[in-house]
Structures are given as C-alpha cells and as structure tokens.
Amino acid sequence: MKRAAFYVRVSTVDQHPETQLRELREYAEHRGLSVVQEQEYVDHGIGGTKARRPALDRMLEDARRRRFDTLIVWSCDRLARSTKHFLQVLDELDSCGVQFSGVMQSGGRSTDRYMSTTNSCAKRSRP
C-alpha cells in the first residue's frame, strides 16, 4: 500500500485546518492510500508567501528520508503562493521520488512530471 502524506496550511488562527484534512482523508481512503497522523503536516496561522514554514520544512525533510510516497494537498496555493517556490517544492519532491497530487486540481490526478497540476497551479498562484 502506498504511503501518503498531507500538507495543509491555513493563513490565520481563525481558520480551521480540519476542513482541509477531512477532505484529504476521504480522498486518500477512496484511493486506498495509507496515511498515519505523523504524515499530516499542518501550518496553522502562517501565510503562504513564506518559503520557510515549520510543517513544510518537516514535510520536505521526511520526503528526503522517503517516509511517504505521495504528497496530497487540498489546493496548490496551500503549498506555495509563487510559481517559483511551487516549482522548487515540486522539483524537490520529484528528486525524492515522491508523487504530488492537488485534490482541487485536475480531479486529483497526478502525472509523471506533474505538468497538468503545475500548469493549473501556475495560473492560480501569485507572481
């Protein structure tokens, strides 16, 4: 069974990450992916323009250690707000052999080089 991880970010402390997590858990369950709570990376109250975030940094470190096979996010703008940062994260995940899936992009389908998701996210992200 493939091991999946979630990355969730909410910008303000008033927002609830559980909303995104609930949908991600459903998504993973319907696809037969295994997710353990340690692989739910949540940055709460942190804006997306910051390239360094505690949960994002932990997730990338765990990707380097091959602790999961697929990273799932609710939406690409939760991962990064600039195209440059988004592509850097995708490149790092790819170099670690980790697949990427954005639930709200492309119906949640991943591709070999993530191009459909990348194109969709690049249109939505800030310059």
Q: What is the pLDDT of residues 53-76, one digit of tens each?
A: 999 999 999 999 999 999 999 998
Q: Please state, in angstroms and rounded to a whole number, the distance separating the CA atoms of residues 77 and 73.
A: 9
Q: Which residues pair with 41 in a beta bridge?
A: 7
* Architecture of the domain delimited by 4-124: 3-Layer(aba) Sandwich (3.40)
User: Alpha-carbon torsion 39, 104, 110, 25, what sign?
Assistant: positive
Helices and strands (DSSP H and E) totals, the chain = 5, 4
pLDDT of residue 113: 37
107 class by beta-carbon count within 10 Å (0-12 exposed, 13-18 middle, 19+ buried): exposed
pLDDT class of 7 with cuts at 50, 70, 90:
very high
- Residue 12 in contact with residue 80, Cβ under 8 Å? no
- Catalytic residue chosen out of the listed positions 11, 75, 116, 120: 11
Q: What's the whole-model pTM score?
A: 0.80
Is 34 marked active-site?
Answer: no
